[in-house]
């Protein structure tokens, strides 16, 4: 869910990239309601293969983020 107050809407764009790559779902702030969220979660639970494919598709991005975060922590810590 993108941050609605972001000046450049960069989070909305980032979510779109993930959504287009089948790594995530993007829900616009105006559409983000408890019912919509429940509906999306129910749909994913009903399609475990789709959920697994999304998770698998996201793994390379998660690994890169984890490495970048570890590098930043080490740099800040002076290690």
pLDDT tens for 17-28 read 778 877 788 888
Whole-angstrom Cα distance, residue 29 to residue 43? 19
- Mean pLDDT, rounded, for 24-50: 91
pLDDT in tens, 4-14: 666 666 677 77
Q: Tell me what pLDDT residue 30 has.
A: 83
Measured CA to CA in angstroms, residue 43 lies from 25, 48, 52, 55, 73 at distances of 11, 9, 13, 15, 37
Number of DSSP helices (H) and strands (E) in the chain, helices first: 3, 0
Average pLDDT in the 37-48 region? Answer: 93
**How high is the pLDDT of residue 42?**
95
């Amino acid at each position: 869910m993108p941050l609605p107050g972001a000046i450049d809407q960069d989070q909305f764009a980032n979510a779109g990239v993930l959504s287009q790559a089948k790594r995530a779902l993007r829900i616009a702030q105006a559409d983000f309601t408890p019912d919509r969220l429940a509906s999306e979660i129910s749909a994913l639970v009903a399609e475990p293969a789709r959920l697994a494919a999304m998770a698998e598709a996201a793994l390379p991005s998660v690994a890169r983020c984890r490495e970048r975060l570890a590098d930043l922590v080490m740099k800040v810590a002076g290690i």
